[in-house]
């Protein structure tokens, strides 16, 4: 049985990956520092260890395992929070990635998948945005994720590591951390509505976002693990469609709000570095991995909010 290490395994995307790879027969080791992830997200069948990748713990606590691949999801993934604690963002995104690369080298691990972000593009000069678009990061988070990409590419070239980098667009689904209102577009909005609070929106309702279901993200990553034609590649991982923030809010309020006709919404100044519009060109990943998103944005939002509504009604 092949063994995979998944970092950030108690987080949103990481926990979905752990469950999926476990279901299809891989032996999974998950690590997380639990700064944002929740140990309750870890399937009891998964080997879990609390490890901060910014330290050297990975070298001492994982010696008993022989990994065939690593999927690196662990990160501080909020543009807003990267301005609050720049040093923490460096540790969480850049130093952690460097330590993981050294771990690959010392343990002869030759397969690495990295979840990066569409934030590296800043406000893209072209829409839809292809992987050839020159990155212009406008937040410390985006700078550190882009720097981590460069570390991976260069380090891998000297140490025979087959890497694949996915630049994730706005990812949503059941299980996001509703307590963290600095991360996760839909989860932030949903947390306000489920709490029957005034909905605070930072930025214009005319902004547009390419949003993608976590299940589609996981499907693409799973398909890439043993696909040699994905080695050494960077892929946009979005749906290829966008909705305006106003459209997203209306969909959420319509299903979740107790009184959707006059639900209070307040617009505030936007977040630093927040792009006005995102839209992924996904033609490369569709060609290389024979992959396509199964759940498009409007249908996916409706499915997600219905699940939250069912949970809310049960309570």
- Where are the domain boundaries for CATH 3.90.25.10 in the chain? 176-209+241-277+295-314
- Displacement of CA 173 from its chain's centroid (Å): 11
Fold of 3-171+212-237: Rossmann fold (3.40.50)
pLDDT digit string (tens) for the chain, length 315 residues? 699 999 999 999 999 999 999 999 999 999 999 998 899 999 999 999 999 999 999 999 998 999 999 999 999 999 999 999 999 999 999 999 999 999 999 999 999 999 999 999 999 999 999 999 999 999 999 999 999 999 999 999 999 999 999 999 999 998 887 777 777 888 899 989 988 899 999 999 999 999 999 999 999 999 999 999 999 999 999 999 999 999 999 999 988 888 888 899 999 999 899 999 999 999 999 999 999 999 999 999 988 888 877 776 666
Q: Measured between alpha carbons, how far is 209 from 310 in angstroms, rounded to an integer? A: 26
Q: What is the pLDDT of residue 179?
A: 79
Tokens standing for 82?
A: 């990267």
User: Burial, 295: exposed, middle or buried (Cβ in 10 Å; 0-12, 13-18, 19+)?
Assistant: buried
β-bridge partners, 280: 129
Q: Measured between alpha carbons, how far is 195 from 197 in angstroms, rounded to an integer? A: 5
Q: What is the pLDDT of residue 130?
A: 98
Tokens standing for 111?
A: 């397969």
Q: What is the pLDDT of residue 312?
A: 64
Q: What angle do CA 261, 259, 309 make, to 5 degrees?
A: 120
Q: Measured between alpha carbons, how far is 183 from 76 in angstroms, rounded to an integer? A: 9
Query: Which superfamily does 176-209+241-277+295-314 belong to?
Result: UDP-galactose 4-epimerase, domain 1 (3.90.25.10)
- Where are the domain boundaries for CATH 3.40.50.720 in the chain? 3-171+212-237
Q: What is the pLDDT of residue 126?
A: 96
Token pair 């998944």 is at which residue?
Answer: 6
């Amino acid at each position: 049985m092949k063994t995979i290490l998944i970092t950030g395994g108690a987080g949103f995307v990481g926990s979905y990956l752990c469950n999926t790879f476990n279901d299809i027969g891989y032996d999974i080791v998950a690590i997380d520092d639990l700064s944002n992830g929740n140990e309750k997200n870890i399937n009891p069948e998964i080997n879990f260890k609390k490890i901060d990748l910014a330290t050297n713990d990975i070298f001492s606590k994982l010696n008993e395992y022989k990994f065939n691949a690593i999927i690196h999801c662990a990160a501080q993934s909020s543009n807003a929070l990267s301005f609050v604690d720049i040093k923490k963002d460096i540790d969480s995104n850049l130093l952690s990635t460097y330590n993981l690369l050294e771990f690959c080298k010392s343990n002869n691990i030759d397969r690495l998948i990295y979840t990066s972000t569409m934030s590296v593009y800043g406000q893209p000069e072209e829409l839809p945005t292809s992987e050839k678009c020159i990155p212009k990061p406008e937040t410390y988070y985006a700078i550190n994720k882009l720097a981590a990409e460069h570390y991976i590419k260069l380090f891998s070239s000297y140490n025979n590591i087959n890497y694949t980098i996915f630049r994730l667009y706005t990812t949503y689904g059941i299980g996001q951390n509703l307590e963290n209102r600095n991360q996760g577009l839909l989860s932030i909005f949903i947390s306000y509505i489920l709490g029957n609070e005034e909905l605070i929106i930072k930025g214009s309702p005319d902004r547009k976002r390419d949003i993608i279901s976590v299940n589609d993200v996981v499907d693409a990553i799973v398909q890439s693990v043993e696909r040699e034609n994905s080695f050494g590649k960077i892929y946009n991982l979005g749906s290829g469609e966008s909705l305006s923030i106003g459209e997203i809010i209306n969909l959420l309020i319509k299903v979740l709000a107790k009184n959707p006709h006059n639900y209070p919404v307040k617009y505030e100044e936007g977040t630093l570095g927040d792009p006005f519009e995102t839209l992924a060109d996904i033609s490369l990943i569709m060609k290389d991995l024979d992959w396509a998103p199964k759940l498009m944005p409007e249908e996916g939002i409706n499915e997600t909010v219905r699940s939250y509504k069912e949970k809310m009604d049960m309570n």
